[in-house]
């Protein structure tokens, strides 16, 4: 409660505000306790404000103005919190596997197919044949074996876990040989040398940044060597005077006590759009003992790390105590299982968004032309490029199409407007103009995208 020279104006009580219909939708989206916190913060801000303390309006006018200010403050704060929730967005950046936007979207048909498994009870760790305890990976290992040619396979919660687990179980206290050109850092400060140190393995560097030969690996092997680790250069590329060894040569010459492990990273398996990327099966056929990669990049599944290779090595990893921390949930297993079935059956739903976009540029152009026709002079259709993203194929670009927004507003303001829509649109700026790259826009989002943009272009200009 506060006072001014014209009289005392009492602020509304928290419980009174919580009953207001205008706040009901915020309570549904944020919870009553969080909205209560917001109301208290808003009331506190009003009490501290100089405008409130110094107001010389008559009490009734001041009361009305204060109430308007309170509601604006509460709504602004609630909207900011809603934007922090995990929300669906439209990816119009041209980076189709965008780490900041959740990487690969799950096909609705796959999500629906596993709905019953995840909204009820399931046979996660029980064998229906005899009622005894079973392993939680279901058919994933056999499906991955058919896809990659591996003897056995397992799944963890992401590919960083795959690498750490391999090092900790197979090389703890021993030497791991890594090329200097493959001691990479990926997002979030994940550095290969640091992970080796944390796992208890000792890094042995060989070769140079641009050239590493088979001899470099073989000559570095000692009795204490446990592993040669070849690492996918996930977010950069080295061009020019470079050389990498033939993995067959390294595999053939390594002693039996040394494991040849490959972090393939991208998850390329049977897809054919990335000619310069080596598929998982090729590494295994060439002599790699074990290969790990991401399930949510090119493969197009949920976030997961996948390890394929020799059965005896996979079994060792599965028995590591850290598997309790790294194992994924039934949601991941069921989604991955359904995806792999459809992929092996060559169904459209078995294609990840990277494959869908890179292999079908005509579909991207068709979507762009339809939307451009619907929006008229508010946009221009322009040629563009797309990248896979997510640390995959770092300098490979594929043809795409974009809509350039025609407006006098500053580009940054347009981007902010698009992000503030009910279904946020994440665009990019090219040549000081906002572009909506159509490569990653899903067909079932097209109608909503069109309606939102039409509404945006037909609003009254802001003063």
pLDDT band at 3 (very low <50, low <70, confident <90, very high): very low
101 contacts 89 by C-beta, under 8 angstroms: yes
Q: How many CA atoms lie within 13 A of 33 on its CB side?
A: 0
**Whether residues 268 and 123 fall in one domain:** yes
For residue 59, the model assigns a pLDDT of: 61
**Whether residues 165 and 22 fall in one domain:** no
Tens of pLDDT, residues 308-356: 999 999 999 999 999 999 999 999 999 999 999 999 999 999 999 999 9
For residue 55, the model assigns a pLDDT of: 59
**Whether residues 7 and 94 fall in one domain:** no
- Full domain range(s) for residue 384: 90-100+354-458
Total domains, the chain: 3
Question: Where does a domain end: 54, 84, 114?
Answer: 84
Write the CATH number for 442: 3.90.1150.180
* Token pair listed for 226: 């446990």
Q: How many CA atoms lie within 13 A of 163 on its CB side?
A: 28
302 contacts 295 by C-beta, under 8 angstroms: yes
pLDDT band at 2 (very low <50, low <70, confident <90, very high): very low
Tens of pLDDT, residues 283-295: 999 999 999 999 9
pLDDT reading at 9 higher than 90:
no
**Whether residues 257 and 237 fall in one domain:** yes
Tens of pLDDT, residues 77-104: 999 999 999 999 999 999 999 999 999 9
- Return d(Cα 110, Cα 260) in angstroms, integer: 35
> pTM to 2 decimals?
0.90
264 contacts 278 by C-beta, under 8 angstroms: yes
Between residues 266 and 2, which one has the greater pLDDT? 266
Write the CATH number for 185: 3.40.640.10
295 contacts 336 by C-beta, under 8 angstroms: yes
Q: What is the mean pLDDT of the chain?
A: 90
Residue the block writes with tokens 């309170």:
70
């Amino acid at each position: 409660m506060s006072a001014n020279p014209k009289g005392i104006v009492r602020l509304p009580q928290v419980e009174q505000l919580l009953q207001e219909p205008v706040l009901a939708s915020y309570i549904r989206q944020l919870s009553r306790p969080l909205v209560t916190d917001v109301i208290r913060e808003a009331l506190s801000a009003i009490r501290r404000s100089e405008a409130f303390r110094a107001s010389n309006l008559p009490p009734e006018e001041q009361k009305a103005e204060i109430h308007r200010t309170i509601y604006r403050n509460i709504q602004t704060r609630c909207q900011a919190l809603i934007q922090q929730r995990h929300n669906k967005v439209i990816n119009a950046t041209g980076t189709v596997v965008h780490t900041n936007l959740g990487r690969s979207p799950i096909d609705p048909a796959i999500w629906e197919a596993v709905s019953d498994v995840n909204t009820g009870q399931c046979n996660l760790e029980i064998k229906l044949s005899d009622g005894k305890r079973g392993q939680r990976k279901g058919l994933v290992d056999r499906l991955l074996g058919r896809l990659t040619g591996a003897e056995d396979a397992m799944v963890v919660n992401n590919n960083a876990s795959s690498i750490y687990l391999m090092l900790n179980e197979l090389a703890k206290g021993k030497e791991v040989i890594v090329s200097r050109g493959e001691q990479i850092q990926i997002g979030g400060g994940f550095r290969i040398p640091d992970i080796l140190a944390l796992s208890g393995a000792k890094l042995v560097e060989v070769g140079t940044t641009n050239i590493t030969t088979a001899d470099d690996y073989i000559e570095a092997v000692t009795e204490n060597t446990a592993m040669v680790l070849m690492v996918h250069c996930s977010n950069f590329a080295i061009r020019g005077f470079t050389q990498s060894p033939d993995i067959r040569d390294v595999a053939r010459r390594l002693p039996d006590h040394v494991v040849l492990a490959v972090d393939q990273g991208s998850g390329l398996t049977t897809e054919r759009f990335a000619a310069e990327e080596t598929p998982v099966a090729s590494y295994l056929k060439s002599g790699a003992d074990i290969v790990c990669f991401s399930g949510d990049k090119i493969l197009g599944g949920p976030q997961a790390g996948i390890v394929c290779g020799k059965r005896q090595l996979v079994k060792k990893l599965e028995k590591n105590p850290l598997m309790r921390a790294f194992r994924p949930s039934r949601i991941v297993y069921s989604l991955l299982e359904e995806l792999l079935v459809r992929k092996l059956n060559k169904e459209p739903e078995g294609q990840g968004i990277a494959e869908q976009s890179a292999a079908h540029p005509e579909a991207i152009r068709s979507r762009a032309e339809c939307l451009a026709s619907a929006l008229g002079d508010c946009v221009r259709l322009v040629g563009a490029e797309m990248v896979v993203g997510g640390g995959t194929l770092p300098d490979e670009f594929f043809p795409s199409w974009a809509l350039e927004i025609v407006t006098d507003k500053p580009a940054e303001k347009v981007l902010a407007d698009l992000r503030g829509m009910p279904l946020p649109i994440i665009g990019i700026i090219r040549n000081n103009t906002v572009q909506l790259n159509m490569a990653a826009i899903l067909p079932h989002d097209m109608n909503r995208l069109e309606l939102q943009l039409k509404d945006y272009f037909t609003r009254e200009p802001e003063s």
